[in-house]
C-alpha cells in the first residue's frame, strides 16, 4: 500500500497564528477531508505529521490535542476516510528536539514504526519547515498554497523541483492522476 504524509494545520484544517487550541477551533479546509478519503479509496495509507508547539507554550494540553484529533478523525470517517497515524511534536522552537520540523525525527520515527523507506513518499505541507523535513527524510516535498503556503512560496528558498498546488484536493487529484 502506498503511503502519503500530510501536515495538519494549513493543509487539512484552517490555520491560525494564535494556534488551534480547542476542537471548536479546528475547522477543515473545504475539500481536504474528501481528498484524504479519495487517497484511502485509491489504496493510500495517510499519516499526519504535525508540529504542535502550543503544548510547550501552555496553550493546550495533550488531552485537548487528542480531542482535536478525535474531531478530525470523526469528521473524516463521515466522508469515508481515515488516518493510519498522527505523529506530533509537542516541543517549542527553542527545545532543540529531533522531532520538530524542519528536522526529520518524526519522519524517521514513522519509517521505523511502519518498517518502510520514505524514498519519494509524497509529503504535503504549507511551510518551508514541512518541505525541509520531508526532503531530509528522503520523502518528496509538495507545497500547498493554503495556510502559510502562499507566504512560503513568496519567500522562496524551496527545495528543488517542489510541486506546488492550490490546496490538498488539487494536490491529491494530481498525484492520483500521475499514478494511473
Catalytic residues: 7, 9
Helices and strands (DSSP H and E) totals, the chain: 6, 6
- Identify each DSSP E strand in the chain by its residue range: 3-6, 45-51, 85-89, 122-125, 140-144, 163-165
Please state, in angstroms and rounded to a whole number, the distance separating the CA atoms of residues 99 and 105. 4
> How far is CA 7 from its chain centroid?
1
Give how far Cα 69 sits from Cα of 99, 121, 143, Å: 19, 23, 22
- Within 10 angstroms of residue 42's Cβ, the number of other Cβ atoms is 15
Alpha-carbon dihedral sign for residues 7, 86, 72, 123 = positive
Alpha-carbon dihedral sign for residues 98, 18, 126, 124 = positive
Amino acid at each position: 500500500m502506498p503511503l502519503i504524509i500530510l501536515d495538519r494545520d494549513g493543509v487539512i484544517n484552517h490555520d491560525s497564528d494564535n494556534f488551534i487550541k480547542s476542537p471548536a477551533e479546528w475547522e477543515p479546509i473545504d475539500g481536504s477531508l474528501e481528498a484524504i478519503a479519495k487517497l484511502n479509496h485509491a489504496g493510500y495509507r495517510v499519516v499526519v505529521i504535525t508540529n504542535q508547539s502550543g503544548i510547550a507554550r501552555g496553550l493546550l494540553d495533550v488531552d485537548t490535542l487528542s480531542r482535536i484529533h478525535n474531531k478530525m478523525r470523526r469528521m473524516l470517517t463521515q466522508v469515508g476516510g481515515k488516518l493510519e497515524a498522527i505523529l506530533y511534536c509537542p516541543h517549542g522552537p527553542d527545545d532543540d528536539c529531533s522531532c520538530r520540523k524542519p528536522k526529520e525525527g518524526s519522519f524517521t520515527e514513522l519509517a521505523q514504526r511502519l518498517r518502510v523507506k520514505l524514498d519519494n513518499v509524497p509529503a504535503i505541507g504549507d511551510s518551508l519547515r514541512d518541505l525541509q523535513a520531508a526532503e531530509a527524510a528522503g520523502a518528496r516535498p509538495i507545497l500547498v498554497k493554503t495556510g502559510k503556503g502562499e507566504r512560503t512560496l513568496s519567500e522562496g528558498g524551496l527545495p528543488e523541483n517542489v510541486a506546488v498546488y492550490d490546496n490538498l484536493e488539487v494536490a491529491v487529484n494530481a498525484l492520483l492522476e500521475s499514478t494511473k
